[in-house]
Chain A
């Protein structure tokens, strides 16, 4: 079987024959997809805010869109990192801000209000995914008050800690006497 990683192996080093199962769960893949989506959207908002405001009939709000772009990129990077859960919750919060901003543009005189409704639907859908991913990727660290095993008997000194201390003192005294 061909494995891409084998082409960089030094000759003679073990090569992959058959892959074992990955512990990556579907929610990890979802988090990853949302992270990249967040960065993509953020880049558009940051560098082409005008296209966004024109599509939504909300010209004049470019600075806000840029700021949202930065927020999306930060949340995206965090969602791709080891702290993906924090990134996903940031995205859930961001979805709320997005919805609020879109609602503020949903005025009767906005000729593009159809697009805003579409955008709101999209934000709603993505928000549901964000929320699910955030729920499912909660860190599995035990909480501070979780029950734990303690190890009060594991000194590592088979003869007891006092005998170690006494021996160390004797060595120190001996060394002091010599100098």
Chain B
């Protein structure tokens, strides 16, 4: 089959690889009908996250049709079922899964010793996302083996097209969880850093959850225009001061809730010296992440407020203002997304027509053009916000 394969920094190729096989009775194989490139795939494209090996198949936003099931799938899935595959692989029966903490499932990371060394504990296995999280082949391919398939799936109806459902795999529940974690109240201002795909979903989620005001921060006109369309007031950080504008828009109080949809690769800009220093330290490998957004959020957030971090961080961040964080009594909530905790509700909202996540798609191309689209998406060429690939 064809698959997008990681070969090193900025080197993803559309290779021919052997078809996946059932390895365990709980496996299923799907024929991929749609998959997407995620912002967090760019961290791998840039080789910022350790643990990728040449030959790894990319992709964790996938949906398709079940073509083969193992003997242990127990009637939960059958040939011909149409499913969206959550990016977190879950067993459904461990203590964490039972609590709904799916992204920290205790069973599914088959290389848990690596994660335990790096993080102290293992997290769930993830598709196409380094050997720290199991080294599972990803879904930017014609076929995908879904491990623990009896639990790791979202069944979807035939009546709704792929584009509206695909993002149940990651970015929609990720933006949603980020907003839910904020305990939004009707009087709240929610400020969202980053208007990439997750940021766009977080904006819609905050509106759906009844925030009084949603403020979105980015520097790209196309992304800001999409944010505004979703109900956000926008700040262009290249031409305006984020701190001043946020003060203005909240009568000096600061936003009660802040969401970081940027993560470890924050924009490097000469007028923000901390970002230059972070980048230099990152190059010589004394700091892994560039936490400019975290610093800014802690500084502007209203005392007693909540900071929610769906953005991906990989290792160590320097100079976080813990003094401000502690004295202002802030709460930080973060985590990979517990996808299946939210997807029943979100699927229902899509079916009801409350939301149509396909608004974010700007490019749909065949799988073989994937390698180029990584570059287009990274360089933000052609007003690219979200790329869907069709195998």
Q: If the complex has contacts A10-B110, A142-B380, A150-B222, are A155 and B16 also in contact, measured as CB distance less than 8 A? A: no
| B356 to A: closest C-beta gap in Å | 5
**In the complex, chain B residues whose CB is within 8 Å of the CB of A172:** 186, 210
| B360 to A: closest C-beta gap in Å | 7
- Cα–Cα distance between A77 and B282 once the two chains are bound (Å): 11
Q: If the complex has contacts A21-B13, A23-B375, are A165 and B207 also in contact, measured as CB distance less than 8 A? A: yes
The yes or no answer to A33 lying at the interface (CB within 8 A) is no
Q: If the complex has contacts A14-B1, A169-B186, are A151 and B229 also in contact, measured as CB distance less than 8 A? A: yes
**In the complex, chain B residues whose CB is within 8 Å of the CB of A26:** none
Assess the B186–A14 pair: CB atoms within 8 A: no
The yes or no answer to A15 lying at the interface (CB within 8 A) is yes
The yes or no answer to A177 lying at the interface (CB within 8 A) is no
Residue ID in chain B nearest A78 by CB atoms: B283
Assess the A164–B207 pair: CB atoms within 8 A: yes
Q: Contacting chain A: which of B50-58, B71-79, B306-314, B319-327?
A: B50-58
The yes or no answer to A178 lying at the interface (CB within 8 A) is no
Assess the B10–A24 pair: CB atoms within 8 A: yes
The yes or no answer to B221 lying at the interface (CB within 8 A) is yes
**In the complex, chain B residues whose CB is within 8 Å of the CB of A13:** 20, 137, 145
Assess the B13–A19 pair: CB atoms within 8 A: yes
Residue ID in chain A nearest B42 by CB atoms: A82
- Cα–Cα distance between A3 and B56 once the two chains are bound (Å): 13
Residue ID in chain A nearest B22 by CB atoms: A12
Interface of A, secondary structure class, is loop
Assess the A17–B381 pair: CB atoms within 8 A: no
Assess the A14–B20 pair: CB atoms within 8 A: yes
Assess the B379–A140 pair: CB atoms within 8 A: yes
Q: If the complex has contacts A77-B283, A161-B207, are A19 and B15 also in contact, measured as CB distance less than 8 A? A: yes
| B195 to A: closest C-beta gap in Å | 10
Interface residues of A in 159-179 (CB under 8 A from B): 159, 161, 164-165, 167-169, 171-172
Q: If the complex has contacts A13-B20, A15-B17, A20-B14, are A154 and B7 also in contact, measured as CB distance less than 8 A? A: no
Residue ID in chain A nearest B223 by CB atoms: A151
Assess the B225–A151 pair: CB atoms within 8 A: yes
| A156 to B: closest C-beta gap in Å | 4
Flag B75-91 by CB within 8 Å of A: 1 or 0 each: 00000000000000000
Assess the A18–B16 pair: CB atoms within 8 A: yes
Contact of B375 among A78, A83, A140 (CB under 8 A): A140
Assess the B229–A152 pair: CB atoms within 8 A: yes
Residue ID in chain A nearest B144 by CB atoms: A14
Assess the B379–A139 pair: CB atoms within 8 A: yes
Assess the A161–B375 pair: CB atoms within 8 A: no
A interface bracket (residues with beta carbon within 8 Å of B): 35 or more
Interface residues of A in 15-74 (CB under 8 A from B): 15-24, 28
| B197 to A: closest C-beta gap in Å | 11
**In the complex, chain B residues whose CB is within 8 Å of the CB of A81:** 283
The yes or no answer to A104 lying at the interface (CB within 8 A) is no
Assess the A156–B200 pair: CB atoms within 8 A: yes
The yes or no answer to B357 lying at the interface (CB within 8 A) is yes
Contact of A14 among B3, B226, B231, B372 (CB under 8 A): B3
Assess the B16–A17 pair: CB atoms within 8 A: yes
Assess the B208–A168 pair: CB atoms within 8 A: yes
- Cα–Cα distance between A44 and B75 once the two chains are bound (Å): 66
The yes or no answer to A135 lying at the interface (CB within 8 A) is no
Q: If the complex has contacts A8-B55, A77-B283, A151-B229, are A156 and B375 also in contact, measured as CB distance less than 8 A? A: no
Assess the B359–A154 pair: CB atoms within 8 A: yes
Assess the A168–B210 pair: CB atoms within 8 A: yes
**In the complex, chain A residues whose CB is within 8 Å of the CB of B93:** none
Assess the A12–B221 pair: CB atoms within 8 A: no
Assess the B13–A156 pair: CB atoms within 8 A: no
**In the complex, chain B residues whose CB is within 8 Å of the CB of A154:** 226, 229-230, 359-360
Contact of B141 among A14, A164, A169 (CB under 8 A): A14
Most buried by B among A4, A144, A156: A156
Q: If the complex has contacts A10-B135, A139-B379, A142-B381, are A156 and B357 also in contact, measured as CB distance less than 8 A? A: yes
**In the complex, chain A residues whose CB is within 8 Å of the CB of B120:** none
Contact of A3 among B55, B238, B371 (CB under 8 A): B55
Q: If the complex has contacts A141-B380, A157-B204, A158-B356, are A5 and B18 also in contact, measured as CB distance less than 8 A? A: no
Q: If the complex has contacts A14-B18, A77-B283, A164-B207, are A23 and B359 also in contact, measured as CB distance less than 8 A? A: no
What are the 7 A-B residue pairs with the smallest beta carbon separation, nearest first?
A5-B55, A168-B210, A156-B359, A150-B225, A149-B383, A14-B17, A12-B23
Known: A22-B7, A141-B379, A149-B383. 18 other contacts (CB 8 A): A10-B110, A14-B20, A17-B15, A17-B16, A17-B17, A18-B15, A19-B16, A20-B5, A21-B14, A23-B371, A83-B279, A148-B222, A154-B229, A156-B360, A157-B204, A158-B356, A164-B208, A171-B210
A–B pairs, 25, beta carbons within 8 Å: A4-B54, A5-B55, A13-B20, A13-B145, A17-B18, A21-B14, A23-B371, A23-B372, A28-B10, A77-B283, A82-B9, A140-B379, A142-B380, A148-B220, A151-B229, A153-B229, A156-B355, A157-B355, A158-B354, A158-B356, A164-B231, A165-B207, A165-B210, A167-B354, A169-B186
- Residues on A close to B: CB < 8 A? 3-6, 8-24, 28, 77-78, 81-83, 139-142, 144, 148-159, 161, 164-165, 167-169, 171-172
